[in-house]
């Protein structure tokens, strides 16, 4: 499914987002969403349907480029160690090498400040 072939119902958007989530994050992403089930299931739904189904699947950036952006943002935010761990694994899933991930974090540190 592409941006031009957008799912329209709530269930379709969730199912599509779940497919994208599995491609990008594998089991780690599903665990994050599952952990929200007792706390805030609607947030879990929106992460899957909107963040992955609508945003991650847009054609403007390749999945590896999206992960580079995500790694940079999580580094800039700070305090996102759990999410950073998930997205380092996602970066590996979508084709980034360990050396590229290390280099992206080093590059981010220049702009985010070195602790």
pLDDT (tens digit, 9 = 90+) per residue, 86-102? Answer: 999 999 999 999 999 99
**If DSSP states are collapsed to H, E and C, what string results for 45-59?**
HHHHHHHHHHHHCCC
Based on the fold, state whether residues 3 and 55 are members of the same structural domain: yes
Number of domains in the chain: 2
Domain of residue 12 covers: 1-60
Based on the fold, state whether residues 33 and 86 are members of the same structural domain: no
Q: Is the confidence at residue 4, as pLDDT, over 50?
A: no
pLDDT at 113: 82
Question: What is the b/e burial string over 7-20, where b = at least 16 CB atoms within 10 angstroms of the residue's CB?
Answer: beeeeebbebbbeb
Based on the fold, state whether residues 48 and 83 are members of the same structural domain: no
Based on the fold, state whether residues 72 and 28 are members of the same structural domain: no
pLDDT at 40: 94
Based on the fold, state whether residues 72 and 105 are members of the same structural domain: yes
Based on the fold, state whether residues 19 and 72 are members of the same structural domain: no
Based on the fold, state whether residues 51 and 85 are members of the same structural domain: no
């Amino acid at each position: 499914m592409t941006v031009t072939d957008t799912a329209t119902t709530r269930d379709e958007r969730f199912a599509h987002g779940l497919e994208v989530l599995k491609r990008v994050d594998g089991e780690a992403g599903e665990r994050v969403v599952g952990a929200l089930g007792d706390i805030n299931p609607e947030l879990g739904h929106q992460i899957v349907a909107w963040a992955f189904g609508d945003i991650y699947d847009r054609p403007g950036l390749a999945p590896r480029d999206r992960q580079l952006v995500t790694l940079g943002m999580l580094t800039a935010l700070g305090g996102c160690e759990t999410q950073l761990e998930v997205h380092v694994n996602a970066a590996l899933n979508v084709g980034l090498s360990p050396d590229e991930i290390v280099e992206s974090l080093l590059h981010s540190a220049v702009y985010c400040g070195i602790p």
